[in-house]
């Protein structure tokens, strides 16, 4: 065999290896840790399997320990897609120019926060927050994560708006549980007397019989606001091929597996845009939670 054919053969092999490596690149996503980790892993491993099949590429879910860690992973390109809350999504998109909110749950444009109280407080459910002024004053209160839209941003907004006081002025002690499930457990146990959490976590836990309703009850719900969404980096087409972002969006919106949807829980996914979350950005700026 002459030298030229050998070179041609080697070049062909190298090209094949390069193409194989490029096509085998893994698409990675994460999600804010708004529930117990075991529930998150179960939910998002199913999503990874679904996306792998729909996108015809390897897809991997990596868990993170905090909302801030989810934003950092997105910023550092350790993940290319993330299931964010309203606030964490706004933060991530501001840090990664060109990134976009591409899909949200059918329920997410009108999300709510529930205020719950340990029944030992004697606080009764109310239609408006202002009527609970005397009941709430001096109680202990827990938010969820500091970066949570439903567990911190919106409940703090309504407390300040209603009572013209910071939470630590209204309550005797204020804490941050870290996630919605933990908020529920802390209030149920009486560790905190009152708390605020994602309404869907409350309803799912009640439906599954995981809440002692003799110990904790819903006392008030916020008006609706935009919240969770899938956000994708703007450079995925360069990395995974032209049209890849649109393929991801279509796969999410087309998801109709009942078990996957109920694990969120959502009845389906619909298109989203960055502009949908302007109210969250404005609220976060007003409260000094984002520059």
Instruction: Give the separation between CA 152 and CA 141, rounded to whole angstroms.
Output: 11
Q: What pLDDT digit, counting tens, does each position of 10-69 carry? A: 444 443 433 333 345 899 999 999 877 888 888 899 999 999 999 999 999 999 999 999
41 within 8 A of 63, measured Cβ to Cβ: yes
Query: Which residues on adjacent β-strands are paired with residue 221?
Result: 114
Task: Indicate the DSSP class of residue 146.
Answer: T
Query: Which residues on adjacent β-strands are paired with residue 151?
Result: none
Contact partners, residue 286, CB within 8 Å, separation at least 6: 157
* Global pTM value: 0.82
Instruction: Give the separation between CA 74 and CA 81, rounded to whole angstroms.
Output: 7
Q: What pLDDT digit, counting tens, does each position of 171-192 carry? A: 999 999 999 999 999 999 999 9
Instruction: Give the separation between CA 5 and CA 230, rounded to whole angstroms.
Output: 50
How far is the first Cα of the chain from the last one, in angstroms, to the nearest whole number?
67
Per-residue model confidence (pLDDT) at position 132: 97
25-109+226-286 homologous superfamily: Periplasmic binding protein-like II (3.40.190.10)
Per-residue model confidence (pLDDT) at position 109: 96
Please list the pLDDT of the chain residue by residue as tens digits (291 residues).
444 444 444 444 443 433 333 345 899 999 999 877 888 888 899 999 999 999 999 999 999 999 999 999 999 999 999 999 999 999 999 999 999 999 999 999 999 999 999 999 999 999 999 999 999 999 999 999 998 999 999 999 999 999 999 999 999 999 999 999 999 999 999 999 999 999 999 999 999 999 999 999 999 999 999 999 999 999 999 999 999 999 999 999 999 999 999 888 899 999 999 999 999 999 999 888 887
Q: Please state the domain extents for the chain.
A: 25-109+226-286, 112-221
Instruction: Give the separation between CA 101 and CA 283, rounded to whole angstroms.
Output: 18
Backbone dihedral angles phi then psi of residue 118, each to the nearest 5 degrees: -65, 135
Contact partners, residue 75, CB within 8 Å, separation at least 6: 92, 95, 96
Domain 112-221 -> CATH class: alpha beta
β pairing state of 81-84 and 27-31: parallel
Instruction: Give the separation between CA 37 and CA 47, rounded to whole angstroms.
Output: 15
Put residue 221 in one of left, alpha, beta given phi > 0 → left and psi -120 to 50 → alpha. Answer: beta
DSSP notation for 216-233: EEEEEEPPPB---EEEE-
Query: Which residues on adjacent β-strands are paired with residue 96?
Result: none
Alpha helices in 24-142 (DSSP H): 37-55, 67-75, 86-95, 133-136
198 within 8 A of 266, measured Cβ to Cβ: no
Per-residue model confidence (pLDDT) at position 24: 58
Triad 237, 273, 286: Cα angle to 5°: 125
- Does the fold of domain 112-221 match that of domain 25-109+226-286? yes
Q: Tell me the two tokens of residue 246.
A: 């649109």
């Amino acid at each position: 065999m002459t030298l030229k054919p050998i070179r041609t053969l080697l070049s062909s092999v190298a090209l094949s290896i390069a193409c194989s490596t490029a096509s085998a690149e893994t698409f990675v996503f994460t999600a804010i840790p708004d529930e117990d980790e075991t529930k998150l892993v179960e939910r998002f491993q199913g999503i990874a399997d679904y996306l792998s099949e729909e996108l015809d590429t390897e897809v991997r879910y990596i868990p993170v320990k905090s909302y801030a860690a989810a934003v950092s992973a997105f910023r550092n390109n350790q993940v290319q897609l993330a299931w964010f809350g309203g606030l964490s999504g706004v933060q991530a998109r501001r840090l990664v120019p060109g990134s976009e909110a591409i899909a949200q749950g059918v329920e997410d444009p009108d999300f709510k926060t529930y205020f719950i109280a340990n029944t030992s407080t004697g606080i009764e459910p109310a239609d408006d927050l202002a009527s609970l002024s005397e009941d709430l004053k001096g109680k202990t209160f827990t938010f969820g994560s500091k970066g949570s839209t439903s567990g911190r941003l919106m409940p703090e907004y309504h407390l300040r708006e209603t009572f013209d006081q910071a939470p630590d002025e209204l309550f005797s002690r204020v804490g941050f549980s870290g996630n919605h499930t933990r908020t529920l457990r802390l209030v149920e146990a009486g560790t905190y007397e009152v708390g605020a959490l994602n309404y869907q976590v409350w309803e799912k836990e009640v439906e599954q019989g995981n809440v002692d309703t003799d110990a904790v009850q819903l006392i008030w719900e916020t008006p609706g606001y935009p919240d969770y969404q899938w956000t994708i980096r703007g450079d995925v087409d360069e990395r995974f091929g032209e049209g890849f972002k649109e393929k991801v969006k279509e796969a999410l919106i087309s998801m109709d597996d009942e078990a996957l949807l109920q694990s969120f829980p959502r009845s389906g996914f619909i298109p989203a845009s960055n502009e949908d979350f302007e109210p969250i950005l404005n609220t976060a700026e007003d409260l000094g939670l984002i520059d």
